[in-house]
Amino acid sequence: MTPVERRVRDRIIQSGPISIAEYMEIALGDPDHGYYRTRDPLGAAGDFVTAPEISQVFGELIGLWCATMWQAVGAPDDVRLVELGPGRGTLMADAIRAAERVPNFLAAADIHLIETSPTLRVRQHDVLEALHPTWHEHFAEISDGPCVVIANEFFDALPVEQFVRTSSGWRRRSIGIDDAAGDLCFVLTDGGRSIPVPFHDAPLGVPCELRPDAEILVDEIARRITREGCAALIIDYGHAVRAPGETLQAIRQHRFDGVLTQPGLADLTAHVDFAAVAEAARAAGADAHGPVAQGVFLDRLGLGLRAQYLCESTPERAEEIRAGCRRLRDPDKMGKLFKALAITPRGSPPPAGFGQNSARTC
Ligand code: SAH
């Protein structure tokens, strides 16, 4: 039994079944044994690979996007460049390498990293030390002022709740201990939350997912952007339309694992509900743009041109560069399941990559 499972069981024995969100919080965030607190999960030797680890072009294009959003509000001489869940720091390093060519951007940008994992903070420090970033546990700790926020594969790690429509009303899907076998198992408990309209006609027995922490965070970010200016870019895998169905999954060593099998040793994630993100941003007074499929978004930002340039300047790496870009862009790889959504102050024109006019193919 993993130490996390021990903690989960103790909690259940003490006070009854726990919600899936609580289970995810313990499995991912337990200070001593939580998945993200204890390891670097990225890369071939880890459990999963993310876009910035696949190609430098990803971070470079995002860096230029950030600089463009800063320019769009008049290039203030003080801007917070905030990354949520920066992993190994690769995205930020690539972003800055590209964006420092935009005059005055680097001098204006203060880099802030929201990261709870001590292990990953060390890696980020190694890679980004020269940029003097500041680390935080929460977005709210960042001082007031214009900010550009980026988040790649961050929201999918925030806890989800599941609710199920039954013949006797809505019930919460929780985690308890099976009486006979003694294993962790899913159980239905009392509801205790209002269910959004798009789920009202969900088929009986099909779990519907909500992510309250994401809505709270998006509300905070959208209010800040509305008040102080600039933008946020959220890239993740997920769906554009809210629909019933379970997407919670466990990944270990690049393979699916049981959600309840080895808590603390496997990554637990669920698809991002982009409709809910957009709704939270709009309710906070901001505009939401997209989601746009990642492949389309990157093409519009100039993925093809940048890849071509890199292939010409480093021909010995050309095959690797092309393969990386195909993986990011192709619809049957990361190009369609992954999506980008931007948040801007109300009334702003669509940012680069979100308007039809910015389309650029190669
Ligand atoms: N953005 C990176 C890493 C994605 S993995 C990339 O694209 O490669 C998710 C990241 O979010 C990790 O850095 C993890 O430690 C961090 N993280 C997960 N939950 C978090 C939370 N609640 N608060 C802050 N950081 C969190």
Looking at residue 333, which CATH number applies to its domain? 3.40.50.12710
Task: Please give the distance, rounded to the nearest whole angstrom, from the Cα atom of residue 115 to the centre of ligand 1.
Answer: 6
Domain of 235, in residue numbers:
3-158+211-345
For the ranges 185-199, 206-220, 235-249, the lowest mean pLDDT is seen at 185-199
Predicted confidence at residue 360, as pLDDT, reads 43
Predicted confidence at residue 38, as pLDDT, reads 85
Residue 348 CB coordination number (10 Å): 19
Give a yes or no: residue 66 inside a domain: yes
| Percent of the chain whose predicted confidence (pLDDT) is above 70 | 98
Judged against a pLDDT cut of 90, whether residue 43 lies above it is answered with no
Give a yes or no: residue 166 inside a domain: no
Please identify which residue in the block is written with the tokens 């890199």. 310
Give a yes or no: residue 203 inside a domain: no
Give a yes or no: residue 142 inside a domain: yes
pLDDT mean over 47-57 = 94
Number of domains in the chain: 1
User: Six-digit token pair at 36?
Assistant: 């993200």
Predicted confidence at residue 361, as pLDDT, reads 35
Residues 200, 285, 219: CA angle, nearest 5 degrees: 65
Predicted confidence at residue 105, as pLDDT, reads 97
Q: Is the peptide bond before 212 cis (omega within 30 degrees of 0)?
A: no
Ligand 1 — pocket residues by CB below 6 A?
36, 42, 50, 52-53, 85-87, 91, 114-117, 120, 152-154, 157
Per DSSP, the three-state class of 128 is helix
Judged against a pLDDT cut of 60, whether residue 53 lies above it is answered with yes
Per DSSP, the three-state class of 165 is strand
Give a yes or no: residue 218 inside a domain: yes
Judged against a pLDDT cut of 90, whether residue 48 lies above it is answered with no
Take atom 13 of ligand 1 and give the residue whose Cα is closest.
87
Task: Please give the distance, rounded to the nearest whole angstrom, from the Cα atom of residue 157 to the centre of ligand 1.
Answer: 7
Task: Please give the distance, rounded to the nearest whole angstrom, from the Cα atom of residue 32 to the centre of ligand 1.
Answer: 17
pLDDT mean over 149-164 = 97
CA dihedral of 133, 134, 135, 137, whole degrees rounded to 10: -140
Give a yes or no: residue 194 inside a domain: no
Judged against a pLDDT cut of 90, whether residue 194 lies above it is answered with no
Contact indicator for 148, 230 with CB cutoff of 8 Å:
yes
Of 266, 264, 271, whose CA–CA distance to 254 is shortest? Answer: 266
Kindly give the number of the ligand 1 atom that is closest to the alpha carbon of 85. 11
Take atom 5 of ligand 1 and give the residue whose Cα is closest.
87
Judged against a pLDDT cut of 80, whether residue 362 lies above it is answered with no
Judged against a pLDDT cut of 50, whether residue 135 lies above it is answered with yes
pLDDT mean over 117-129 = 96
Q: Mutate which of 22, 25, 36, 216 to test ligand 1's pocket (most atoms within 8 Å of Cβ)?
A: 36
pLDDT mean over 17-25 = 97
CA dihedral of 184, 187, 190, 191, whole degrees rounded to 10: 100
Predicted confidence at residue 260, as pLDDT, reads 97
Predicted confidence at residue 268, as pLDDT, reads 96
Predicted confidence at residue 39, as pLDDT, reads 87
pLDDT mean over 336-341 = 97
Give a yes or no: residue 237 inside a domain: yes
pLDDT, tens only, 343-361: 999 999 999 999 864 444 3
Contact indicator for 263, 23 with CB cutoff of 8 Å:
yes
Judged against a pLDDT cut of 80, whether residue 322 lies above it is answered with yes
Task: Please give the distance, rounded to the nearest whole angstrom, from the Cα atom of residue 12 to the centre of ligand 1.
Answer: 27
Take atom 6 of ligand 1 and give the residue whose Cα is closest.
87
CA dihedral of 255, 261, 262, 266, whole degrees rounded to 10: 30
98-to-42, 93, 268, 272 alpha-carbon distances in Å: 23, 9, 32, 28
Judged against a pLDDT cut of 90, whether residue 249 lies above it is answered with yes
Contacts of 176 (CB under 8 A, 6+ apart): 12, 16, 17, 184, 185, 186, 187
Kindly give the number of the ligand 1 atom that is closest to the alpha carbon of 117. 15
> How buried is 63 (Cβ within 10 angstroms: 0-12 exposed, 13-18 middle, 19+ buried)?
buried
| Percent of the chain whose predicted confidence (pLDDT) is above 90 | 91
Predicted confidence at residue 356, as pLDDT, reads 63
Mean residue pLDDT of the chain comes to 94
For the ranges 12-16, 21-25, 44-48, 242-246, the lowest mean pLDDT is seen at 44-48
Give a yes or no: residue 188 inside a domain: no
Contact indicator for 310, 328 with CB cutoff of 8 Å:
no
Predicted confidence at residue 37, as pLDDT, reads 87
Please state the pTM of the whole predicted model: 0.96
Q: Mutate which of 60, 154, 217, 328 to test ligand 1's pocket (most atoms within 8 Å of Cβ)?
A: 154
